[in-house]
Structure 1
């Protein structure tokens, strides 16, 4: 049976939330926070498989899914949950600011992403926006970084990250297990989409948008 938490009956408009995370204390803490904000936490799942099962049977309004769980990963859990119930509204929870982790969650179908270090009011606000079907920015990105206005695929972002690291076409081809010709073609397409003219401009774009990070 799902893990039941204290439920406040404050009306039909109450948002029903499920939390999927392998840490019980985190589930309990977030549950108390959301209930204090007038939401209803209907279940807590300790892993991805349990979360998929609960989502199908309980049909929560919004589901919070940890991206870093043992066994079935957060991205796999998002994908499977949406296969079972395409109308699911999912928010991915990340342990750190990682643009690639966020992109994977988005491509899997998450409506929003948030780091676990975010303030409680940020989580509450994001849940309300996702529940209302409002567009949301990617709040796992550093606040100093602008959200890209060009929709890039995971493949294109990976290419830009490697360019920003200073790798040449041959090195990138080896890293991605494709031919140099394929890399040249992808590079031309990506540069055209971004309206940049050379590798330096592409690298600057990647760094400014958070796709690549200087170490």
Structure 2
């Protein structure tokens, strides 16, 4: 199988590529240090799988997965992350990601996951799977939007202007979000939502 490794940390990218290259059935055909590079390499080299970090400059791993899905590109995506956030996982599943693993997983686990994905399966780190399925995002799309803008420091009035809503309606959405997240206030609600990856 032909694999591309996309990871912004050079040392990790090199080590991962070298370890995967030791496997007889895996050929690392390219390395990318950001999401834009990953897209370009995937389109020019046509790999079977791209092993990708979530947090990368220019485009995140999830942005890349969504772009590939839009373009109906056959390259399968396996996400490697240090972030065990439910929101990331849910967005990854919607983007058609085939694997979701923690960066500190043993290399054997990654290799086994790649083989499973290559043969048409899906692979999720066992310690992540249960947590993720249980932690559903309670926020509606509009509540998420309002909270995300509030996280950027905008007032209810400014958020209203951006979303064509009255300041009172914005405050209602914020109040709903605070209640659903069992938060003390707006700042607390933003912190809870960000920690769970629900504002991505």
TM class, shorter-length: 0.5 to 0.7
Q: Is the 8 A contact 2:13 2:31 kept in 1?
A: yes
Q: How many residues align?
A: 150
| Counterpart for residue 38 of structure 2 | 51
Equivalent in 82, 95, 115 of residue 128 of structure 1? 115
Q: How far off its partner does 1:175 sit?
A: 5.9
Distance 1:175 1:77, change over 3 A: farther
1:35 aligns with 2:14: no
Matched, 1:83 2:70: yes
Measured at CA, do residues 59 and 175 of structure 1 come closer, stay the same or move farther in structure 2, by a change above 3 Å?
farther
What is the distance in 2 between the residues matched to 1:47 and 1:65?
9
The structural deviation recorded for 1:172 is 9.1
**d(CA) in 2 for partners of 1:117, 1:43:** 22
| Helix, strand or coil at the partner of 1:22 | coil
Counterparts in 2 of 1:175 and 1:140: CA distance versus 1, 3 Å: farther
Partner of 1:174: 174
The 10-residue stretch of structure 1 (82-91 or 59-68) with the greater mean CA deviation from structure 2:
82-91
Which whole-Å CA distance do the structure 2 matches of 1:101 and 1:140 have between them?
16
Correspondence 1:132-211 to 2 at 5 A: 132-136=119-123, 138-139=124-125, 141-142=127-128, 145=130, 148=133, 157-159=136-138, 173-174=173-174
In the other structure, the counterpart of 2:89 is 102
Of 47-56 and 82-91, the range deviating more from structure 2: 82-91
Pair 57,98 (structure 1): closer, same or farther in 2 beyond 3 Å: same
Distance verdict in 2 for CA 1:81–1:147, change over 3 Å: closer
Segments of 5+ residues of structure 1 without an aligned counterpart are 1-14, 161-170, 184-210
**Are residues 96 and 173 of structure 1, via their aligned partners in 2, closer, same or farther at CA, if it must alter by over 3 Å?**
same
Q: Normalized against structure 1, the TM-score is what?
A: 0.60
Which residue pairs with 1:9 in the alignment? none
Kept in 1, the 8 Å contact 2:86–2:136? The answer is: no
For the aligned residue pairs, the C-alpha RMSD in angstroms reads 3.1
Point out the structure with the larger helix share: 2
Deviation at 1:51, TM superposition (A): 0.6
